[in-house]
A and B are shown apart, each in its own frame.
Chain A
Amino acid sequence: MENKNMTVYLTVWRQESKNSKGTFVKHTVEDVNPDMSFLEMLDVLNERLIKNDDVPIEFDNDCREGICGTCGVVINGTAHGPRSGATTCTVRMREFKNGENIVIEPFRARAFPVIKDLVIDRSAFDRVQNKGGYTTVRTGSAPEANSILVPKENADEAFEMAACIGCGACVAACPNASAALFVGAKVSHLALLPQGRPEAARRVERMVAQMDEEKFGACSNHGECEAVCPQEIPITAIARMRREYWKSTVKS
């Protein structure tokens, strides 16, 4: 059988620590199986680096099946790589050409400082989420499921919004490093459900205030976020957040 293995030329962002100055380093990875995932290719490179007593490239990853939202780098100028609706871990090497130059960069935003190499600190998202991305409920036994009726369309749309895995690709892809899609999805998810309505105004105010506090940019409606979102969350989420924001401003 002929050998279909490929060679790729990587230009990778290397940065020792949060406060050190980073730089791009070139690596050549030979004998890459095209059926490998992108992260497996980095694993292979890292094994070789370790064998040569070099420091391996640090990158975030966890489930490696496109569910958790931990992984995420900018590959050749696109967050999560060339294919839309995918996480970095689901990118395969066959999507690249043999001998291709691949630039790998961390997600860049003031709110997402680089910790090491391709690893960034996304705790800004957690702080936004903590401001209201939940419903305040009395714990106890589960209530009767049909006691609060939810229209099917609302349930479907809320589910679409709830699919957000908080990977941060929307921020990475946005020319303004805006977190509007993430916050929009979180706000919309609960705004669409009756259980989320009582706290809707407070939620949107507090989450937007925290979003601004974290120094994310403002949304200019480029729509890049929607195009790179692994969960394909549409920017209708952002419009809904704005309506909720409007309502809360007018109400009070």
Chain B
Amino acid sequence: MKISMSVFSTLGKKIFMGVTGLLLSGFIVIHLIGNLQLLLPDKDPFNIYAHILTQETGSIIYIAEFLLAAVFLIHFVYAIIVTWNNWQARPEGYRKVKWAKNTSRRSIGSVTMIYTGVVIMVFLVWHLLHFKFGEVVYYTPAGYDHEIRDLYVIVYQFFGNIINVILYIIVMALLGFHLSHGFWSAFQSLGLDGKRFTPFVYGLGVVFAIVMAVGFLFLPLFIFMTTGGTV
């Protein structure tokens, strides 16, 4: 009874959404920090970082990747189920809907969560196909006696294409909208609120959304503007 309650009730599902959402928020922070090495003109730091992360951590990386994939999938599957049930809860809609202002936190971000989420999920497949399972180029960096993968050059070539740059910018902007509601909402879904805490975490969520979106969309833009893809 208790397990089914926490997994299948409307409240339990949102707890899963909140926890996985916060874990994913943590993931993108680390992802962005790692990616900042792409801003360096020297390709070695980024490539060595990627090499150590994927090749020299043994089985830890596989466990981490498995957990990350599981978190993504739980977040995605629950989102689909929750949204579907929410649509069923009002079979006949209103002719006219006007958002209540006052204290309402309804926003473009909050009403488009499922759409931005699905776009991000599709993007993720494309992103992985290209960078994780895509073309592989090897080179030997200074101080190494063996070849490692040159992901840096793959990234730079990819963002030499204006279409890829534009698509990435659009998706990262959508990620910002998703986070603008998702971040504070996760805390609220976990029941973590307070008179000072809630406005704080709401504001923090907006800042977080802007920093993440701008951070991620700046990278392709920077690469395109500075090099046009030629390394």
Within 8 A of B (CB), among A102-116: 103, 105, 108-111
**Interface size of B in residues (CB-CB distance below 8 Å):** 46
Taking CB atoms, residues of chain A closer than 8 Å to B86 are 175-178, 217-218, 220
Within 8 A of A (CB), among B101-115: 101-106, 110-111, 113
Contact call B2/A103, Cβ cutoff below 8 A: no
- Min CB gap A179→B, angstroms: 9
In Å, the complex CA distance between A74 and B97 comes to 9
> Does residue A76 face the partner (Cβ distance < 8 Å to B)?
yes
Also in contact, A110 and B111, with CB within 8 A (given A24-B95, A212-B10): no
Contact call A242/B102, Cβ cutoff below 8 A: no
In Å, the complex CA distance between A242 and B198 comes to 15
Taking CB atoms, residues of chain A closer than 8 Å to B143 are none
Also in contact, A218 and B106, with CB within 8 A (given A103-B96, A176-B89): no
Taking CB atoms, residues of chain A closer than 8 Å to B185 are 220-221
Contact call A242/B191, Cβ cutoff below 8 A: yes
Contact call B95/A84, Cβ cutoff below 8 A: no
- Min CB gap B87→A, angstroms: 8
Q: Which residue of A lies closest to B81 (CB)?
A: A218
Contact call B103/A226, Cβ cutoff below 8 A: yes
Within 8 A of B (CB), among A1-30: 11, 24
Taking CB atoms, residues of chain A closer than 8 Å to B195 are 236
Taking CB atoms, residues of chain A closer than 8 Å to B88 are 110, 215, 217
> Does residue B93 face the partner (Cβ distance < 8 Å to A)?
yes
In Å, the complex CA distance between A178 and B86 comes to 8
Taking CB atoms, residues of chain A closer than 8 Å to B6 are 249
**Complex interface: stretch among A39-47, A62-70, A142-150, A203-211:** A203-211
> Does residue A197 face the partner (Cβ distance < 8 Å to B)?
no
Q: Which residue of B lies closest to A240 (CB)?
A: B191
Contact call B96/A77, Cβ cutoff below 8 A: yes
Contact call B97/A77, Cβ cutoff below 8 A: yes
Within 8 A of B (CB), among A181-237: 205, 208-209, 211-212, 215-224, 226-228, 234-236
**Interface size of A in residues (CB-CB distance below 8 Å):** 51
User: Which of B92, B100, B102 is in CB contact (< 8 Å) with A108?
Assistant: B92
User: Which of A173, A208, A211, A220 is in CB contact (< 8 Å) with B110?
Assistant: A220
> Does residue A243 face the partner (Cβ distance < 8 Å to B)?
yes
- Min CB gap B214→A, angstroms: 24
> Does residue B155 face the partner (Cβ distance < 8 Å to A)?
no
- Min CB gap A152→B, angstroms: 16
User: Which of B5, B90, B189 is in CB contact (< 8 Å) with A209?
Assistant: B5
**Complex interface: stretch among B11-19, B23-31, B59-67:** B11-19
- Min CB gap A167→B, angstroms: 14
> Does residue B94 face the partner (Cβ distance < 8 Å to A)?
yes
Q: List 19 A-B contacts (CB under 8 A).
A: A77-B96, A77-B98, A108-B94, A110-B88, A175-B106, A176-B89, A217-B88, A217-B90, A218-B10, A218-B86, A222-B106, A222-B111, A224-B99, A224-B104, A238-B188, A239-B188, A242-B11, A243-B191, A246-B190
Binding site for A on B (CB under 8 A): 2, 5-6, 9-15, 82, 85-86, 88-106, 110-111, 113, 181, 184-185, 188-193, 195, 198
Q: Which 5 A-B pairs have the closest CB atoms?
A: A77-B98, A242-B191, A217-B89, A227-B100, A176-B86
